[in-house]
């Protein structure tokens, strides 16, 4: 499908588009950007080459590399999966679904496909001849799993792992640290490398559950959130705080676009990967950080683990002018004061904490008073790639810290060796 060559940057649409409209716009914008990126980095080679966008079928199976025993990955930041002749990929349609292909010869749920050349693969005993890899599909999108583990995280939180089971092996996509009593996601963590630079676009968005005892989709409707805020500050102020352009969206911690394949992207739509986020914040500085950080990791070749989380409860003034904590479900589902991303490259012993304040109704002075460390990004050319507008409170007042400074206030994450300083 042809895309326009230039589109307005998504941050310019932060105060214009709603949650779903913004996600659709962002998807189209990234499709254009990534097409340009691929054209600049592609090269011819032998073996098999599959484009992340264009050579993979839908509904998409789960792909596991035999060579790495992990999810199939693009080669560097190329947006292409490159395999040597004879290299094998496990193709799986979980939940007892059959793999579909026009040339299938036996019913299989999980099978091994072998690279022949270009986009052609063979499948001994289940696929007739050498066939296009992109025609391998499932009857419906594979359903990801969320499994509660026995591991504990900050403040006795529960670690939940999200991913897929293939051949009786669980392959995690991300882990979530979750406080069950408050229905609060503290943080998630996952790996991000150069091969995440290009992701599939146009992937459909499912709905996610996991919070027992509450209809979490209903909690996020504008009617419900306005009613919840009205109980805390009064009806008149609730009408002022929640409008058609300023409302609380489901802010993803691990972003959909942080995952290359449709199966991984759809797995980000669990509510154990989300927290209430004001929509212009979601589409403003936070989105700039998500997209530009991923591109920076791709260009620099960093090998990182990212901790993305929330801290504190944001406040709004009530009719008496007093600040009150904001929750969406009777002291549960808190609206966070801060969202953060801690990016750490262990091999380089470098890392940086990026923080944004999730409240468009603060004054600039109030937001600045909530900054808890020296901002290492401001007026620092090494971080010009972020391209955020840190003083725009409506888009999320933003700053960054050294990891030791961050941990003095927010102790969620483990102690990391950052003896070589900031990761820029």
Specify binding-site residues for Mg(2+).
Answer: 282
Structure tokens at 341: 């991303």
CA 119 – CA 337 distance, rounded (Å): 48
Helices vs. strands in the chain: H and E counts, helices first: 9, 24
DSSP assignment letter at 222: H
Alpha helices in 79-221 (DSSP H): 216-219
CA 419 – CA 126 distance, rounded (Å): 53
Annotated catalytic residue, options 9, 252, 361, 412: 252
Strand 88-92 vs strand 110-117: parallel, antiparallel, or unpaired? antiparallel
CA 256 – CA 165 distance, rounded (Å): 20
CA 334 – CA 280 distance, rounded (Å): 18
In terms of Cα–Cα distance, which of 242, 364, 358, 348 is closest to 308?
358
DSSP assignment letter at 133: G
109 is catalytic: no
CA 121 – CA 102 distance, rounded (Å): 14
- Quickly count: other Cβ atoms within 10 Å of residue 210's Cβ: 18
Q: What is each CA distance from 73 to 77, 89, 138, 156, 290, in whole angstroms?
A: 10, 11, 20, 34, 20
CA 378 – CA 42 distance, rounded (Å): 35
CA 321 – CA 316 distance, rounded (Å): 9
Q: What is each CA distance from 352 to 46, 302, 375, in whole angstroms?
A: 39, 13, 11
Q: Which residues participate in the annotated binding site?
A: 282
The radius of gyration of the chain's CA atoms, rounded to the nearest angstrom, is 22
Q: Give the residue carrying structure tokens 């392959």.
A: 171
Q: Phi/psi zone of residue 397: left (φ > 0), alpha (ψ -120 to 50 degrees), beta?
A: beta
Alpha helices in 270-354 (DSSP H): 279-283, 285-300
Give me the active site residues, please: 252
């Amino acid at each position: 499908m042809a895309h326009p060559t230039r589109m307005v940057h998504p941050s310019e649409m932060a105060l214009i588009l709603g949650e779903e409209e913004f996600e659709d716009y962002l998807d189209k914008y990234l499709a254009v950007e990534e097409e340009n990126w691929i054209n600049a980095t592609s090269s011819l080679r032998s073996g098999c080459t599959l484009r992340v966008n264009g050579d993979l079928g839908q509904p998409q199976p789960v792909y596991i590399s035999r060579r790495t025993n992990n999810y199939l990955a693009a080669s560097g930041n190329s947006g292409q999966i490159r395999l040597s002749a004879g290299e094998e990929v496990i193709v799986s349609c979980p939940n007892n679904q059959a793999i579909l292909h026009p040339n299938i010869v036996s019913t299989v749920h999980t099978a091994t496909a072998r690279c022949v050349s270009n986009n052609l693969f063979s499948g001994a005993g289940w696929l007739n001849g050498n066939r296009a890899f992109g025609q391998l599909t499932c009857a419906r999108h594979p359903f990801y799993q969320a499994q509660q583990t026995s591991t504990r995280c900050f403040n006795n939180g529960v670690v939940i792992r999200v991913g897929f089971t293939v051949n009786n092996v669980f392959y995690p996509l991300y882990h979530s640290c979750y406080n069950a009593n408050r229905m609060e996601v503290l943080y998630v963590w996952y790996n991000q490398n150069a091969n995440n630079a290009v992701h599939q676009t146009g992937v459909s968005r499912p709905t996610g559950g996991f919070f027992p005892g509450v209809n979490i989709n209903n909690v996020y409707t504008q009617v419900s959130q306005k009613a919840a805020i009205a109980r805390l500050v009064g009806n008149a102020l609730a009408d002022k705080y929640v409008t058609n352009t300023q409302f609380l969206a489901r802010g993803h911690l691990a972003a959909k676009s942080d995952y290359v394949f449709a199966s991984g992207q759809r797995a980000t739509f669990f509510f154990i990967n989300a927290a209430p986020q004001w929509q212009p914040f979601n589409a403003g500085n936070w989105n700039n950080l998500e997209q530009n950080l991923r591109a920076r990791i791709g260009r620099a070749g960093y090998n990182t683990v990212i901790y993305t989380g929330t801290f504190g409860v944001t406040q709004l003034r009530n009719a008496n002018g007093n600040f009150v904590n904001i929750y969406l479900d009777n002291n549960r589902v808190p609206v966070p004061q801060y969202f953060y991303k801690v990016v750490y490259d262990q091999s380089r012993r470098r890392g940086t904490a990026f923080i944004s304040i999730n409240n468009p109704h603060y004054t600039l002075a109030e937001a600045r008073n909530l900054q808890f460390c020296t901002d290492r990004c401001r007026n620092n050319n090494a971080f010009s790639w972020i391209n955020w507008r840190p003083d725009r409170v409506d888009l999320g007042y933003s700053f960054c810290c050294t990891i030791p400074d961050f941990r003095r206030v927010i102790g969620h994450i483990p102690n990391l060796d950052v003896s070589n300083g900031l990761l820029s």
